[in-house]
Chains A and B, each alone.
Chain A
Amino acid sequence: MLLIRCPYCEMERPELEFRYGGEAHVVRAAEPETIGDEAWGQFLYLRSNPKGLHAERWRHTNGCGRFFNCLRDTVTDRIFVTYKAGEPRPELAS
C-alpha cells in the first residue's frame, strides 16, 4: 500500500484514502469540436504508460477531496513528489 503525500493536506496518508486518476497533463482541448477524429481518439485513449517516471493524477477522496499530481517511478513505485493540480510537472534533480 503506497504512502502518498497530499499536497493540500500536507501530510502522508495511506493509499486507501486516495483514488488513482490516470495519467496527468492530458489536456482536454478548449474547443473539442475543432479536433479531428485521429487527435480526439488519441486524447481519449492514448497514454504514455512509461516504464519509469510517470506523472499521474490522484484524488484525496477520503480526505480533502482534491485532485493533485504525482511523479512516481513505475518500476519501483517510489513516489518522488506530489504537486497541486494546475502546477507544471516539476523537474527532478537527478
Chain B
Amino acid sequence: MRFSFPRMLKEALNGNAGWPEQWRSPEPKASYDAIIVGAGGHGLATAYYMAKEHGMRNIAVLEKGWLGGGNTGRNTTIIRSNYLWEESEALYEHAMKLWQDLSLELNYNVMYSPRGVLMLAHNVHDVQVFKRHVHANRLAGIDNEWLTAEEAKAFCPILNIDPDVRYPIIGAALQRRGGTARHDAVAWGYARAASAMGVDIIQNCEVRNILRGPDGAVTGVETTRGVIRSKKIGVVAAGHSSVLMQMANVSMPLESYPLQALVSEPIKPIMPCVVMSNTIHAYMSQSDKGELVIGAGTDAYTSYSQTGGLHIATHTLEAICELFPVVRRLRMLRNWGGIVDVTPDRSPIIGKTPVAGLFVNCGWGTGGFKATPGSGHIFAHTVVTGEPHKIAAPFTLDRFRTGRLIDEAAAAAVAH
C-alpha cells in the first residue's frame, strides 16, 4: 500500500484499521540466493538495491535483535559528503545523491533535511585543513564553501564568535547540501520497500557460525533459528563485524569502540543547521522534535557494552556550552552509546574477502549513517556480481597489506 496524504485521510476515517504491516515477519526458508547479516540501514539498503537494481529477490536479511537497532538507531544522523580524498568523495557523494530522492524512492518520509553542515575552524591549522577540503571538493563538483566567523554566525546565530574565548571560531567550512535525516525512518523505509519486493527480514535471528564447504566457500549460516543455506553471504554488522568474520576465520583490521551521544529536552527551534567542531570535540544539531542532538566522543577502550563513561559526555558538554552559551541551562535528557567499528585509516572496508562467497561491508566508524544509501547501493552490486563496484574498489581489505590507505583521519583529523 502506498503512503500518501489522501490514503492517510481515508485510513483515519476507517479507524486506521487498513494499514498493513510495513514489513513481513517471515519464518526463515531453508536457503536463499543471498544472505545479508545485519538489518541496520546499510544491510537493509543492500538488500533493497539487490532486489531493485539487480532483480535478486530470494534474499534474507538476518538480524540478531530488531531491525535498525544498532548504530542506525543510535547515531546523530549527520549527512555530508565533503571528504578529502577522491575515493571518499566519490563514495559519500554517491550516497548524497541518493539521499536527495530517497523519500520518494522508498515512499517513506526519511526526512532528509539539507539544512547545512558547518565545520568550525579554531586555529590556523584547521583553516589550512578545511580550505584543502574546500578546494578538493570544488574540483570534484561537491559543494563546500569557506565562511568567515561572521558568516558562520549569520548561518547559525547562537554560535559564540567572541575572539577572546579559549578556542575562538575563526572560520568555518559549510556544505549546504549536508544535513540530517530521520534515522529510524531510513531503516524502516528500506525494510518496507525490500520486504515488498520479497526480501525476508528475519529478526531475533543471531548468526552463530558461518558454514563453509570442502572448497572453503561459504555454504550458509548457523543461526539461533536453524541453519540457513546460501552461497553468497554479505556481512554488514558494524561493531560486530570482527566477531562475525572470525566465524569464517577472517581476522579484520577493526576495533569496536563505544561512541556516545546525547539529547537535550525538546525546545523551540534555536539551531538551524548542523555544527561540528572537531578541535574541541562537539557536534550538535536540533531534531525536528526540538531536542538538541549532541555527538560525543568515543571512550578510550574497545567495548561492546553500548555505554561509556560519564566523563566523555561531560567533556563534550563543556565544549558545547562554550560554542553555544545560551544552552548552558538546558538539560540532558538521555545519553546512550553505540558500538562503532573503526579501521586503522577511518575508511570503510567494502568488498570481497579471502573466503569465496563471503563479502563484507564494515569499518564505517563514527560516520556510517550518512553513507547508508550509497553503501547499500554499491555493496549490492558487489554481492550480486561478485566484483567490487568501481566506487567500492579502493576500499578493499588488501589496502592494509599494500599500504594504500585512504586516511581521512590522518589527513584532516576530522571526525565523521
Contacts and interface: CB of A to CB of B under 8 A. Distances in A.
Contact residues of B: prevailing secondary structure: loop
A51 B301 contact: no
Interface stretch (B46-54, B224-232, B252-260, B271-279): B252-260
A51 B400 contact: no
Contacts of A16: 311
Given A45-B344, A47-B254, A38 B401 contact: yes
Nearest to B399: A41
Given A1-B309, A1-B310, A41-B401, A47 B253 contact: yes
B164 to A, nearest CB: 29
B309 A49 contact: no
Contact of A72 (B242, B243, B301, B344): B301
A5 interface: no
A38 B272 CA distance: 49
Q: With a 10 A CB-CB cut-off, give which of A47, A48, A49, A72 has the most chain B CB atoms.
A: A49
Interface in B217-264: 240, 242-243, 246, 251-256
A74 B303 contact: yes
B217 to A, nearest CB: 21
A34 interface: no
Contacts of A37: 401-402
Contact of A44 (B251, B305, B344): B344
In the complex, which of the residues A2, A16, A77 has the most CB atoms of chain B within 10 Å of its own CB atom?
A: A77
A45 B400 contact: yes
Most buried by B among A37, A38, A74: A74
Interface of B: 240, 242-243, 246, 251-256, 300-305, 307, 309-311, 344, 400-403
Interface of A: 1-2, 15-16, 19-20, 22-23, 37-38, 41-42, 44-51, 54, 56, 72, 74-77
